[in-house]
């Protein structure tokens, strides 16, 4: 059985960093993992890993923008349309990886996840190839500094979950930048390089009352009363469809990463269809671990 994890989320959420740490953790755990780059706009300098499969070998955003006279957004759409028209290329690339864990690093344009059909079609093709697939959506902890920005992230995650229709995990990344120090406001200045935050649990399991309870001076300046009905409607939507909750991810903590990986394994039912190893399949290292 092959497994694939789509690593999604907005730009700057730490998708490539997470993909690298995820793959490294699996390899240290003596599991076979490969990273697939699905971002045609990625530059060599930005890579934190050497991808086993790279969409840029098929199509790049720079080439599309230059040859088709397109902007970055239209060019990215064209790249994914081209990929879907050439799924035989991806199927051939994936053909050499059996019983492997594929970590698919996706672009940061969230519209690809929220309403375009590209990734749902890609998922269906992966499933047709017999690859068990799930998705993770990364939202960086900075979003907790502003209630409105945070709930826009919650709604984006919810929209992406509905659009892709696969087993799903939401992750609050860069939690090493958040301290447990209480603060008097939601947008405190960083202390010692960390962002203090109170009631973190209300963000990890989003409490919609955070939105309707906004009554500080900044909200008044924004004319919060004007948007009160809209906020109420958003709150009602989140309460009626409580789809989104976040696992905290601190990549400086091995335990934090292990927790996230175990949730991904459980969501994808990793290993449930695997045959147990017979004694002759075990190598010396396995026996050493059993002693």
Each residue's pLDDT tens digit, 226-236: 667 777 777 87
What pLDDT, on a 0 to 100 scale, did the predictor assign at position 185? Answer: 41
Q: How many CB atoms lie within 10 A of CB 193?
A: 8
Tokens 């344009």 sit on residue: 109
Q: Are 118 and 25 in contact (CB under 8 A)?
A: no
Torsion of CA 73, 76, 81, 86, to 10 degrees: 170
Asked if residue 186 has pLDDT above 70, the reply is: no
Strands in 33-37's sheet, in edge-to-edge order, are 53-54, 33-37, 101-105, 2-8, 131-140, 168-173, 246-248
Q: Are 137 and 157 in contact (CB under 8 A)?
A: yes
Instruction: Give the global pTM.
Output: 0.83
Query: CA-CA distances (angstroms) from residue 253 to 73, 114, 175, 250, 257?
Result: 36, 31, 10, 6, 7
CATH number assigned to the domain covering 2-176+244-276:
3.40.50.300
* Pick from 109-118, 179-188, 192-201: least confident: 179-188
Asked if residue 220 has pLDDT above 60, the reply is: no
What pLDDT, on a 0 to 100 scale, did the predictor assign at position 47? Answer: 62
Q: Are 44 and 30 in contact (CB under 8 A)?
A: no
What pLDDT, on a 0 to 100 scale, did the predictor assign at position 227? Answer: 67
Asked if residue 216 has pLDDT above 70, the reply is: no
What pLDDT, on a 0 to 100 scale, did the predictor assign at position 39? Answer: 94
HEC per residue, 39-94: CCCCCHHHCCCCCCEEHHHCCCHHHHHHHHCCCHHHHHHHHHHHHHHCHHHHHHHH
Q: Domain ranges in the chain?
A: 2-176+244-276
* Pick from 9-23, 99-113, 164-178, 179-193: least confident: 179-193
- 3-state SS, residue 137: strand
DSSP conformation class of 23: H
How far apart, in whole angstroms, are the C-alpha atoms of residue 23 and residue 135?
15
* Pick from 60-69, 109-118, 161-170, 225-234: least confident: 225-234
Residue 243, φ and ψ in degrees, nearest 5: -90, -25
What pLDDT, on a 0 to 100 scale, did the predictor assign at position 224? Answer: 56
Asked if residue 58 has pLDDT above 70, the reply is: yes
What pLDDT, on a 0 to 100 scale, did the predictor assign at position 214? Answer: 54
Q: Are 105 and 67 in contact (CB under 8 A)?
A: no
Q: Which residues on adjacent β-strands are paired with residue 132?
A: 3
96-132 pLDDT per residue, tens: 888 789 999 999 988 888 888 999 999 999 999 999 9
261/183: higher pLDDT: 261
How far apart, in whole angstroms, are the C-alpha atoms of residue 135 and residue 120?
11
What does the chain come to in residues? 291
How far apart, in whole angstroms, are the C-alpha atoms of residue 240 and residue 190?
35
Mean pLDDT of the chain: 83
């Amino acid at each position: 059985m092959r497994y694939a994890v789509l690593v999604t989320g907005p730009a700057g959420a730490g998708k490539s960093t997470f993909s690298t740490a995820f793959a490294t953790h699996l390899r240290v755990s003596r599991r076979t993992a490969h990273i697939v780059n699905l971002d045609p706009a990625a530059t060599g300098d930005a890579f934190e890993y050497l991808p086993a499969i790279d969409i840029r070998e098929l199509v790049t955003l720079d080439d599309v923008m230059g040859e088709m006279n397109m902007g970055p957004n239209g060019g990215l759409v064209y790249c994914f349309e081209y990929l879907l028209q050439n799924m035989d290329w991806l199927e051939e690339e994936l053909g050499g990886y059996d019983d492997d864990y594929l970590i698919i690093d996706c672009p940061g344009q969230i519209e690809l996840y929220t309403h375009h059909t590209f990734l749902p079609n890609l998922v269906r093709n992966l499933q047709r190839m017999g690859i068990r697939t799930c998705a993770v959506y990364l939202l960086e902890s900075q979003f907790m500094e502003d209630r409105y920005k945070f709930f826009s992230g919650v709604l984006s995650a919810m929209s992406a979950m509905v659009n892709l229709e696969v087993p799903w995990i939401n992750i609050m990344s860069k939690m090493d930048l958040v301290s447990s120090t209480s603060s008097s406001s939601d947008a405190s200045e960083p202390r010692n390089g960390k962002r203090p935050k109170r009631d973190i649990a209300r963000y990890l399991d989003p409490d919609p009352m955070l939105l309707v309870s906004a009554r500080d001076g900044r909200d008044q300046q924004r004319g919060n009363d004007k948007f009160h009905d809209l906020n109420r409607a958003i709150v009602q939507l989140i309460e009626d469809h409580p789809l989104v909750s976040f696992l905290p991810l601190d990549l400086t903590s091995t335990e934090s990463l292990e927790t996230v990986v175990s949730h991904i394994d459980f969501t994808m039912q990793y290993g449930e269809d695997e045959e147990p190893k017979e004694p002759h399949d075990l190598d010396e290292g396995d026996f050493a671990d059993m002693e």
